[in-house]
């Protein structure tokens, strides 16, 4: 694999997800990553399930096997002056620090960026940012997605808001932060400024940045966007439709040419000239009817048949996969999206491969 960040050394000062994942991205692109853990306890992710057992019957976190990979670990007591001095010396021979403590913690420990080499790039990840009236509030991904408005948009209109299935803000913030780290490294090294900088990456901010037109519509139209489940409140057909064999198939046919092809696949070419469905606007106004029509069709066929018919007519489609489907999928296998990582405790563990890839890797 190409390693464009080879020669860069990263200190992973984080815990759980966001900062360690940021460091991990840099590591997968060639950087050396050194993780600093609390003596005696280590990173809390080490005790997060699910667990596998080693040869001696001890539990080992599979969460840690995935998110702790690709780095060396040392323990330093950062609450102790000797540990703080050790950290400063270690940081002096590094390029990047990734941390996600509550704002003010590094300052209290005398290891904040103002006390470190100005060449360092420091990614500071927190819930609400390094300043502002909520900056010292503690919390997690659940709080971030709720605060940024994503929880309000997730779920069905007639049910309570739902959280996304994964800690989206942790991983998303880590990706934004890793990109910003590489930008400051480029400025420092390629442009020759010789100085790094501080990145203020906060969980709710990454979610806010991907909220599409939600803020603009509120600003100019006064509209408050609402959750619509798997459907859209302005376009159809679009949903995860249940099949005869109890699976779900995602079909997206909102553009007029695609809808016409779906009608052919369904054996219902008449639908494309029905005045209720004959244009994108008409289908948006009659979205419940057109979605129900598609649902009635899928209910009479197995998922594989639905997928095959849609694909043969050029309709965007995909069976909703669980992890077993993903692991067995021939496309995933052909692309090398999963890899085996040799965990030093429990041996080879199949998991997600580094992403993205460079060129034809």
Which positions are annotated as active-site residues? 170
From the list 182, 151, 126, 141, the residue with the least C-alpha distance to 13 is: 126
From the list 133, 138, 211, 137, the residue with the least C-alpha distance to 172 is: 211
Assign 123 to helix, strand or coil: strand
Do 106 and 112 contact (CB within 8 A), yes or no?
Answer: yes
HSE of 318, CA atoms in CB hemisphere, 13 A: 9
Maximum CA extent, the chain: 78
* Full DSSP string of 184-220: HHHHHHTS-----EEEEEEHHHHHHHT-TTHHHHHHH
Do 162 and 139 contact (CB within 8 A), yes or no?
Answer: no
CA angle 122, 125, 131 (to 5 degrees): 95
Backbone angles phi, psi at 192, to 5 degrees: 75, 25
């Amino acid at each position: 694999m190409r390693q464009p960040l080879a020669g860069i050394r990263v200190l992973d000062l984080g815990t759980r997800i966001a900062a360690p994942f940021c460091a991990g991205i840099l590591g997968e692109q060639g950087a050396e990553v050194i993780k600093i853990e609390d003596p005696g306890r280590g990173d809390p992710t080490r005790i997060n399930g699910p667990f596998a057992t080693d040869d001696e019957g001890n539990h080992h976190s599979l969460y840690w096997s995935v998110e702790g990979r690709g780095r060396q670990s040392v323990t330093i007591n950062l609450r102790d002056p000797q540990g703080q001095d050790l950290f400063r010396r270690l940081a002096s021979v590094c390029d990047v620090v990734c941390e996600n403590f509550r704002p003010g913690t590094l300052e209290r420990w005398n290891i904040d960026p103002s006390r470190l080499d100005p060449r360092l790039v420091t990614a500071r990840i927190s819930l609400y940012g390094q300043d502002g009236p909520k900056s010292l509030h503690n919390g997690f991904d659940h709080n971030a997605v709720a605060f940024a408005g994503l929880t309000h948009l997730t779920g069905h209109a007639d049910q309570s808001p739902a959280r996304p299935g994964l800690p989206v803000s942790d991983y998303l913030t880590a990706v934004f932060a890793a990109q910003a780290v590489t930008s400051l490294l480029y400025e420092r090294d390629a442009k020759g400024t010789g100085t790094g900088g501080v990145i203020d990456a906060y969980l709710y901010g990454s979610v806010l940045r991907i909220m599409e037109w939600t803020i603009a519509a509120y600003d100019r139209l006064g509209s408050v966007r609402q959750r619509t489940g798997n459907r859209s409140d302005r376009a159809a057909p679009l949903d995860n439709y249940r099949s005869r064999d109890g699976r779900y198939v995602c079909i997206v046919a909102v553009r007029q040419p695609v809808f016409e092809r779906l009608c052919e696949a369904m054996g219902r070419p008449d639908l494309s000239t029905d005045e209720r469905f004959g244009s994108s606007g008409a289908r948006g106004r009659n979205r419940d009817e057109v979605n129900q029509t598609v649902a009635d069709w899928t209910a009479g066929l197995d998922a594989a048949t639905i997928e095959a018919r849609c694909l043969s007519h050029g309709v965007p489609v995909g069976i909703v996969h669980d992890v077993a489907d993903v692991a067995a999928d021939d496309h995933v296998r052909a692309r090398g999206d999963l890899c085996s990582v040799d965990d030093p405790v429990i041996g080879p563990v199949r998991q997600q491969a580094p992403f993205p890839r460079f060129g034809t890797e």
